[in-house]
Amino acid sequence: MMRFTNTTWLMLASLTCLSGNAVAQSLAGPEKLAAPALTAQPSRDSAELIFRSVLRKPGDDGSKAYRIPGLATTPSGALLAVFDIRYDGSGDLPANIDVGLMRSDDSGESWSGMQRILDFDQSQPGSFGNGVGHPTIVIDRQTGTIFVAALWSHGNRGWKGSEPGMTPEETGQLVMTQSTDDGLTWSPPINITAQVKRPQWRLCFNGPGAGIQLRDGTLVIPAQYRESDGTPHSCFIYSRDHGQRWDISPPAIPVGPPTSESQIAELDDGSLLLSMRDESRSGQRAWAKWTWSELEQVESPSAPISGEWSAHWSVVDDPTCMASLLKHPNGKLLFSNPNHPSERIALTVRISDDEGRTWSEGRLIDSGECMYSCMAVLADGSIGILYEVDDTLTFARFSYDWISSGK
């Protein structure tokens, strides 16, 4: 396990423009994952045609809680789960939190041991645990590089404690780690805060959950920032040069309900659909569509993006919670969240065939107290979902036909 001091950090910050291959070759990654081991006995509910297993529970590897799931399938078919290791309890940053990863080579039937892929030295004085968490995973399928972005809080620099500025002493830092060997080893953290944050903002960071790669190769990670007065806005960060340089979009809703955690999907016409957590406590999910400028195709990778957001709309009950949005290979959109306007209960997966304007009644995945979730299409064509229940991460797998046949 690698830990990083502030001195080491100053050297790492200069690597923000290196390519994935360059970073992998110039930095020594941590040791490879432990030998695969089944973490929990799986179960199948024959009445619902759904497979389940508990991936992480309180007490595993000495941590009191596990939260904030991300899930993605690599080009080789490996399934990667990322999450917060919250050692001292379920509370958010600042705290002693690391980003963990587990791997499955059989579509979630069994899983490897846990690896810590982002981990700062929690013993540094005044660091409040020096935590890093809230991960988003995205895969460049053209190069094979896998990126995991997260928020680093050196001191009280989480959601509430961050202030305007750019340094770790002033504001939370947006960092990334990357793998060029299918998720087996990972680079030390790379700081991209200066690339995407404005000095007047209190905070700028990622998702969490999963990002996407567009048909033209652009990498997109859902993101959010807080203005100087604290107002949050959902947006996205993107790279058109395979992760060497990152930039940020305009806010999806510049005037209107404040929004934060989001997920994103590319629609058939190349536009982007953003699903957002509405911080006004409206009891519904907020949505907006980004349409690229016609000139976008001829601009250089280093040029700012051009395009515009649609007027936002609200649809689907939502208790102000992170949710998952997924574009299925058949073209349909899938969405998962707690199906209630005010309580985090009844995790449900829905389908839309009109670009997120309307949604099916969906299928119930878990009737209990459920919170964050993240979906991925697995190597065998089924759909996987990793979700939170009471500081525990549960993995479930089901077919698209099972979801589409729900009423």
Structure tokens at 304: 């700012």
261 is catalytic: yes
Handedness of CA 239, 243, 247, 248 (dihedral sign): positive
CB contact set of 387 (below 8 Å; sequence gap of 6+): 69, 336, 347, 365, 366, 370, 371, 372, 373, 374, 393, 394, 396
For residue 71, give the nearest of 210, 166, 175, 184 by alpha carbon. 210
pLDDT at residue number 40: 41
**Tell me, what amino acid is at 71?**
L
Structure tokens at 322: 């992170």
Model confidence, pTM? 0.89
Cα 170 to Cα 154: distance, rounded to the nearest angstrom: 9
Cα 200 to Cα 152: distance, rounded to the nearest angstrom: 18
3-class secondary structure, 212: strand
C-alpha distances out from residue 385 to 68, 85, 173, 379, Å: 12, 18, 28, 14
CB contact set of 112 (below 8 Å; sequence gap of 6+): 33, 34, 35, 36, 37, 102, 103, 104
pLDDT at residue number 32: 32
Cα 192 to Cα 24: distance, rounded to the nearest angstrom: 17
pLDDT at residue number 15: 35
Cα 147 to Cα 339: distance, rounded to the nearest angstrom: 30
pLDDT at residue number 401: 95
Identify the residue whose tokens are 């009644």: 361
CB contact at 8 A, 288 and 309? yes
Instruction: Write down how long the chain is.
Output: 407
**Tell me, what amino acid is at 176?**
M
pLDDT along the chain (407 residues), means of 10: 38 34 31 34 60 98 98 98 98 98 97 98 97 98 98 98 98 98 98 98 98 97 98 98 97 97 97 98 98 66 82 98 98 98 98 97 96 98 97 97 83
Q: Give me the catalytic one of 48, 261, 296, 369.
A: 261
